[in-house]
A and B are shown apart, each in its own frame.
Chain A
Amino acid sequence: MASPVLRLEKVCKSYNIGQPSEVEVLHDIDLILERDDFLALMGPSGSGKSTLLNIIGLLDRPTSGRLFINGQDTAALSDAELTHLRGHTIGFVFQYHNLISAFSARENVEMPLLVDRTFLSPAITARASALLARVGLERVMNNLAMNLSGGQQQRAAVARALAMSPDLVLADEPTGNLDTKSADSVFELLREVNRDSHTTFLIVTHNVDLARRCDRIVEVVDGRIEA
């Protein structure tokens, strides 16, 4: 049987280790994400959702416990190896200001590919254009990032998260800054991508209606996963 896209074993995270202000924010988190999963992560503010997402996204290391990506233990990987693995297997969509303002929507989508290959190629540009068409932005492709509406920026961010064909897309309140209608359509976009390309999604949201439309809901309370 193929390994799950993500497996967490007893992951703990503490901040300010060794100082009087030391706090354990995550306690013994176990979590498995299979290919194709579409999971909503919920929980009150300060419960540790973003912390967990950062650890899963290899932006941060757990204080203890193990993290496997496609069966590979990440504990032994160097910083540079983590960066490489992150670039190739994980896509990010943040709550706001996802795009780099000096670049157009298309250039933003090209960016992960450019970072990986160093030089731009017609193939990269074609892929970025196709992805932007996929998220419904073909008409504003060449607009500078800052000239896009909030919803358009989030769509472009989704396209960029998909540029490297990641196995896992992590979205931290991707619709948190949008009005209901835009939030709904961006969420629907994520669903469609999940259906079409079998990409695994882990979405942090406070929106119960949206969470209900996910395959699974996991709730974090005080740094623990509630059944």
Chain B
Amino acid sequence: MKRWMPFEWIAASRFLLEGRLQTLFIIGGVAIGVGVIVFMAGMLSSLEANFIRRVLTSQPHIQLVVPDQVARPLRNGGGVIEDATIQRPAQRIIPMNQWPKIRDQMLAMPGITGVSPTLSGSALVARGEANRAINLVGVDPATYFGIVPIPDYIVAGEARLTSEDIIIGTELAKTLGATVGDKLGVSVVSGRNRVLTIAGIVDLGNKGTNLRNTYVALRTAQSLEGMIGGVTTIDLTVADVWDAEIIAQQIAAMTDIEADSWIATNAQFYSGIKAQIMGNTMIRVFVALSVAFGIAAVLVVSVIQRSREIGILRAMGTSRGQILRVFLIQGGLLGFLGSLFGALMGAAGIIEYHAYTMQPDGTELFPLVLDRWLFIDTALLATLTGLLAALAPAVRAARLDPVVAIRG
């Protein structure tokens, strides 16, 4: 017997060791349950990470824009609508009024970690015969790269944005047959144009975005669009991406600016993920329940088998509390040990599945996310479940009348 272990732990571990097969089976049962939870949760995190990665690589968490110009229906004095058919006017590039004030407000708001004013509008790029409509985004690299980390996605050249530079997506580069160092002619609706040099080619993980989005220095965009000192949007990042919608609503309530969170603009994806999380939680609860019943069943049997020994322990001065703890510890140990093996099984499952779904070109289908909190949480949950499951059998053991138990 170990000197550093108190009586309750010695008795609990010996009882578990003695009931070899029972112990092994229930630990196996717990491990399978925990393995499923870990695998599912790991897959969900991977899915979530994959989705967030796809959506948020090229998109800020929240984008502040000037509200659409909506033509108001003509009203007669009495509120009768004269002509209810409203034609939406063509959307022009509308500068944001007093944007420095809004920017400062955003900088002061809790939960917001990055603020970058940008100017975005449409333009036409031309290289030789080829030309293409694009979305021209004028950014301040210092702040914008903190929101969309363009430098991380550069596949050729560098993320340099002097007034003569342009960064384009891989698809556009392919379409135009352009490479780093080539000159592109960029013109806007008003007829203003400029020749810019491709400084870098970026892969934002999405074909459409790689074709459409181009990045220039804010000043370059301002002079092209004829909006010196103006911006059209303010891009934001928040500390917790899942808070984006709440913060967007706060901003909308605070200012007369429209605030679009990534959650709102990707509502379908988002509700898909939410449904997955719900389903996952349900599975977790039911697996925990079945684990609890399994542990309780094994311990109830163990209490019955050990009645006489419990009686003898009571006769030699063991208190009810000590007996209670001996069985609670057994429950906790079963949950904990099961969760250790289960976590290993679940993690192995995810790693195996990740390798299995690796695409022929060596790129992964989804990122491998193994959060250590998943393991810590699961181990805690399983241990707690074991303790709770052990409660009824342990109380039963503690309440045994030693006279009856010893008589057998």
Any chain B CB within 8 A of the CB of A213?
Answer: no
Any chain B CB within 8 A of the CB of A57?
Answer: yes
Any chain B CB within 8 A of the CB of A9?
Answer: no
Minimum CB–CB distance for A62 against chain B, Å: 13
Interface string of B305-341 (1 = CB under 8 A from A): 0001100111111111010000000000000000000
Minimum CB–CB distance for B105 against chain A, Å: 62
Chain A residue with minimal CB distance to B16? A102
Asked if residues B309 and A100 are in contact (CB atoms below 8 Å), the reply is yes
Asked if residues B312 and A115 are in contact (CB atoms below 8 Å), the reply is no
Report A56-115 residues with CB < 8 Å from chain B CB: 57, 59-60, 79-80, 83-84, 86-88, 91-92, 94, 97-98, 100-103, 107, 110-112, 114-115
CB-defined contacts of A80 to chain B, threshold 8 Å: 319-320
Interface range on chain B: under 10, 10 to 19, 20 to 34, or 35 or more?
Answer: 20 to 34
Chain A residue with minimal CB distance to B19? A102
Asked if residues B315 and A92 are in contact (CB atoms below 8 Å), the reply is yes
Asked if residues A112 and B6 are in contact (CB atoms below 8 Å), the reply is no
Any chain B CB within 8 A of the CB of A54?
Answer: yes
Any chain A CB within 8 A of the CB of B82?
Answer: no
Q: Which of A57, A97, A102 contacts B18 (CB 8 A)?
A: A102
The CA-CA distance from A187 to B274 in the complex, in Å, is: 75
CB-defined contacts of B312 to chain A, threshold 8 Å: 92, 94, 98, 100
Asked if residues A112 and B316 are in contact (CB atoms below 8 Å), the reply is yes
Contact A115-B313, Cβ < 8 Å, known A59-B402, A120-B3: yes
Any chain A CB within 8 A of the CB of B15?
Answer: yes
Query: Which of A57, A83, A86 has the most chain B CB within a 10 Å cutoff?
Result: A83
Query: Which of B2, B4, B317 has the most chain A CB within a 10 Å cutoff?
Result: B317
CB-defined contacts of A54 to chain B, threshold 8 Å: 403
Any chain B CB within 8 A of the CB of A116?
Answer: yes
Q: Which of B11, B314, B403, B407 contacts A83 (CB 8 A)?
A: B314
Interface string of B1-24 (1 = CB under 8 A from A): 111111100110011011000000
Any chain A CB within 8 A of the CB of B277?
Answer: no
Any chain A CB within 8 A of the CB of B380?
Answer: no
Asked if residues B403 and A111 are in contact (CB atoms below 8 Å), the reply is no
Asked if residues A101 and B18 are in contact (CB atoms below 8 Å), the reply is yes
Any chain A CB within 8 A of the CB of B368?
Answer: no
Asked if residues A97 and B7 are in contact (CB atoms below 8 Å), the reply is no
Query: Which of A54, A79, A102 has the most chain B CB within a 10 Å cutoff?
Result: A102
Asked if residues B319 and A83 are in contact (CB atoms below 8 Å), the reply is yes
CB-defined contacts of A57 to chain B, threshold 8 Å: 315
Asked if residues B403 and A60 are in contact (CB atoms below 8 Å), the reply is yes
Minimum CB–CB distance for B248 against chain A, Å: 58
Interface string of B382-408 (1 = CB under 8 A from A): 000000000000000000001100110
Minimum CB–CB distance for B314 against chain A, Å: 7
Q: Which of B18, B318, B320 contacts A79 (CB 8 A)?
A: B320
Q: Which of A50, A92, A102, A120 contacts B316 (CB 8 A)?
A: A92
Minimum CB–CB distance for A69 against chain B, Å: 14
Interface string of A172-187 (1 = CB under 8 A from B): 0000000000000000
Asked if residues A103 and B318 are in contact (CB atoms below 8 Å), the reply is no
Asked if residues B1 and A114 are in contact (CB atoms below 8 Å), the reply is yes
Minimum CB–CB distance for A126 against chain B, Å: 13
Asked if residues B316 and A111 are in contact (CB atoms below 8 Å), the reply is yes
Contact A115-B317, Cβ < 8 Å, known A98-B312, A120-B1: yes
Chain A residue with minimal CB distance to B3? A120
Chain A residue with minimal CB distance to B309? A100
Contact A115-B7, Cβ < 8 Å, known A103-B14, A110-B1, A120-B2: yes
CB-defined contacts of B313 to chain A, threshold 8 Å: 100, 111, 115
Asked if residues B10 and A114 are in contact (CB atoms below 8 Å), the reply is yes
Interface string of A153-181 (1 = CB under 8 A from B): 00000001000100000000000000000
Any chain B CB within 8 A of the CB of A45?
Answer: no
The CA-CA distance from A88 to B315 in the complex, in Å, is: 11
Asked if residues B7 and A83 are in contact (CB atoms below 8 Å), the reply is no
Asked if residues B7 and A114 are in contact (CB atoms below 8 Å), the reply is yes
Minimum CB–CB distance for B50 against chain A, Å: 50
The CA-CA distance from A102 to B20 in the complex, in Å, is: 11
CB-defined contacts of A164 to chain B, threshold 8 Å: 316-317
The CA-CA distance from A60 to B314 in the complex, in Å, is: 12
Any chain B CB within 8 A of the CB of A16?
Answer: no
Contact A97-B10, Cβ < 8 Å, known A114-B1, A115-B317: no
Any chain B CB within 8 A of the CB of A121?
Answer: yes
Asked if residues A160 and B308 are in contact (CB atoms below 8 Å), the reply is no
Asked if residues A160 and B316 are in contact (CB atoms below 8 Å), the reply is yes
Minimum CB–CB distance for B395 against chain A, Å: 15
Contact A118-B314, Cβ < 8 Å, known A83-B319, A97-B308: no
The CA-CA distance from A79 to B1 in the complex, in Å, is: 29
The 6 nearest A-B residue pairs measured at CB: A87-B317, A102-B18, A102-B14, A112-B316, A92-B315, A115-B318
Residues of B at the A interface (CB closer than 8 Å) are 1-7, 10-11, 14-15, 17-18, 308-309, 312-320, 322, 402-403, 406-407
A–B Cβ pairs within 8 angstroms, 17 of them: A59-B402, A59-B403, A83-B314, A83-B317, A100-B309, A101-B18, A102-B11, A111-B316, A115-B318, A118-B6, A118-B7, A119-B3, A119-B4, A119-B6, A121-B3, A164-B316, A164-B317
Using A83-B314, A120-B1, A164-B316 as known contacts, list a sample of 5 further A-B pairs with CB atoms less than 8 Å apart, ordered by residue number in A: A86-B317, A87-B316, A92-B315, A115-B318, A120-B3
